[in-house]
A and B are shown apart, each in its own frame.
Chain A
Amino acid sequence: MADTPHPASRTRPLSPHWTIYRWPVTMVTSIVHRATGLALAAGTILLCWWLVAVANGPEAFNQFMGLLTTPLGEVVMFGFVWSLAYHLLNGIRHLAWDIGFGFAVPTANKSGIVVIAASLVVAVGAFALAYTGRGGYYQ
Chain B
Amino acid sequence: MSLETPLHKVRGMGSAHSGVSHFWRQRVTAAALIPLSIWFGVSLLGLVGAHEAATLTFLSQPINAILTAAFVIILLYHMALGLQVVIDDYIHNDGQKLVLMLLMRGLTIAAGATSIFALLRIAGPL
Could you say which of A34, A81, A91, A135 contacts B86, with CB atoms under 8 Å apart?
A: A34
- From B113, which residue of chain A is reached at the shortest CB distance? A48
Decide if B52 touches A138 in the complex (CB within 8 Å). no
- From B30, which residue of chain A is reached at the shortest CB distance? A91
Among residues 73 to 92 in chain B, which have CB atoms less than 8 Å away from a CB atom of chain A? 75-76, 79, 82-83, 86
When A and B form their complex, what is the total count of cross-chain residue pairs whose Cβ atoms lie within 8 Å? 100
Decide if A51 touches B119 in the complex (CB within 8 Å). yes
A92 cross-chain contacts in B, Cβ below 8 A: 34
* B-contact 0/1 string along A84-124, CB 8 Å cutoff: 11001001101100100000000000000000000000000
A137 to B42, CA, bound (A): 10
- From A33, which residue of chain B is reached at the shortest CB distance? B82
Interface size class of A (residues with CB under 8 A): 20 to 34
| B118: interface (CB < 8 Å) | yes
Decide if B122 touches A44 in the complex (CB within 8 Å). no
* Residues of chain A having any CB pair with chain B under 8 Å: 34, 37-38, 40-41, 44-45, 47-48, 51-52, 54-55, 57-58, 61-62, 81, 84-85, 88, 91-92, 94-95, 98, 126, 129-130, 135-139
Chain B min CB distance to A110 (Å) = 21
A95 cross-chain contacts in B, Cβ below 8 A: 27, 30-31
A34 cross-chain contacts in B, Cβ below 8 A: 86
B30 cross-chain contacts in A, Cβ below 8 A: 91, 94-95
With A57-B52, A61-B55, A95-B31 known as contacts, the answer to whether A81 contacts B79 (CB < 8 A) is: no
With A54-B56, A91-B30, A126-B41 known as contacts, the answer to whether A139 contacts B49 (CB < 8 A) is: yes
Main secondary structure on A side of the interface with B: helix
Residues of B in contact, count (CB < 8 Å): 39
Could you say which of A55, A58, A84, A138 contacts B47, with CB atoms under 8 Å apart?
A: A138
B41 cross-chain contacts in A, Cβ below 8 A: 81, 84-85, 126
Decide if B34 touches A91 in the complex (CB within 8 Å). yes
Decide if A41 touches B83 in the complex (CB within 8 Å). yes
Could you say which of B50, B86, B122 contacts A139, with CB atoms under 8 Å apart?
A: B50
Chain A min CB distance to B74 (Å) = 12
Chain A min CB distance to B90 (Å) = 10
Could you say which of A94, A137, A139 contacts B51, with CB atoms under 8 Å apart?
A: A139
| B13: interface (CB < 8 Å) | no
B54 cross-chain contacts in A, Cβ below 8 A: 138-139
Among residues 106 to 124 in chain B, which have CB atoms less than 8 Å away from a CB atom of chain A? 111, 114-115, 117-119, 121-122
